[in-house]
């Protein structure tokens, strides 16, 4: 009986420890914003909007896309980041195969899609894998290196993805900014997170 109680107690402690590790608190690399970590929420080609719960770090199904469009690239959130809307900074990133929700990946920023969602700034960092993860994208240094058709697909998707059901927030796009602008947004979001979490180890 004592052994069973010990095993149950150990299991509860391990469960609590696992829940204490929120993926959104995963440390950023020392060379941030040149490279950064993000958690995958939606794989390329997906039609389900997953989100990372800010309190627990669990991946939660938020909704199915009402518009008949799929995400043109992977979508996720930067860890240890706080954007102007109070949420983690969003990232859209390219890989040779769709990423699994909940997976952490080190990325390199190449640009920013400037976006307003319901009157609120909601920019999307555009990124590719860090060279050590996949050197396929090494020649893509900034947004203009990304094929024009990919840029157009990104804009087309975000222009319409919230049109259904009717009455949702209006989305406005204002083009792209370059890699330097992306790095500045990443740095600002990281600094904002650190200011809000001064006792969290970096």
CA-to-CA dists, residue 33 to 68, 80, 178, angstroms: 35, 12, 14
Task: Give CA–CA dist 79/156, Å, rounded.
Answer: 27
53 known ligand binder: no
Pairing of strands 90-93, 124-129: parallel
Q: Is 122 annotated as a binding residue?
A: yes
To the question of whether residue 168 is assigned a binding role by annotation, the answer is no
Say whether 49 counts as a known binding-site residue. yes
Q: Is 87 annotated as a binding residue?
A: no
CA angle 86, 177, 122 (to 5 degrees): 20
- 85 labeled binding residue: yes
Q: Residue count of the chain, please give it.
A: 202
Concatenating the DSSP letter of every residue in 15-60 gives HHHHHH--GGGPPPPTTTTTSEEEEEEE-TT--EEEEE-TTT--EE
63 is in an annotated binding site: yes
Annotated binding residues for Mg(2+), written as ranges, equal 85, 90, 122
Annotated binding residues for substrate, written as ranges, equal 49, 63, 75, 161
Annotated binding residues, written as ranges, equal 49, 63, 75, 85, 90, 122, 161
């Amino acid at each position: 009986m004592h052994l069973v109680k010990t095993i149950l107690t150990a299991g509860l402690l391990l469960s609590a420890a696992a829940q204490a590790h929120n993926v959104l608190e995963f440390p950023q690399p020392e060379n941030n914003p040149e490279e950064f970590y993000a958690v995958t929420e939606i794989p390329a080609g997906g039609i389900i909007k997953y989100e990372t719960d800010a309190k627990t770090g669990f991946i939660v199904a938020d909704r199915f896309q009402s518009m008949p469009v799929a995400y043109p690239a992977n979508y996720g959130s930067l860890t240890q980041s706080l954007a102007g809307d109070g949420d983690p900074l969003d990232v859209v990133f390219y890989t040779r195969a769709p990423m699994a929700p909940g997976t952490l990946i080190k990325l390199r920023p190449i640009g920013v899609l400037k976006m307003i969602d319901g009157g609120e700034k909601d920019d999307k960092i555009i990124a590719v894998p860090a060279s050590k993860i996949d050197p396929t994208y090494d020649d893509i240094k900034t947004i203009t290196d990304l094929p024009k058709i990919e840029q157009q697909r990104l804009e087309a998707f975000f222009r319409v993805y919230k049109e259904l059901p009717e009455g949702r927030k209006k989305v406005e796009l204002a083009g792209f900014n370059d890699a330097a602008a992306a790095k500045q947004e990443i740095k600002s979001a990281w600094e904002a997170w650190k200011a809000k979490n001064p006792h969290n180890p970096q």
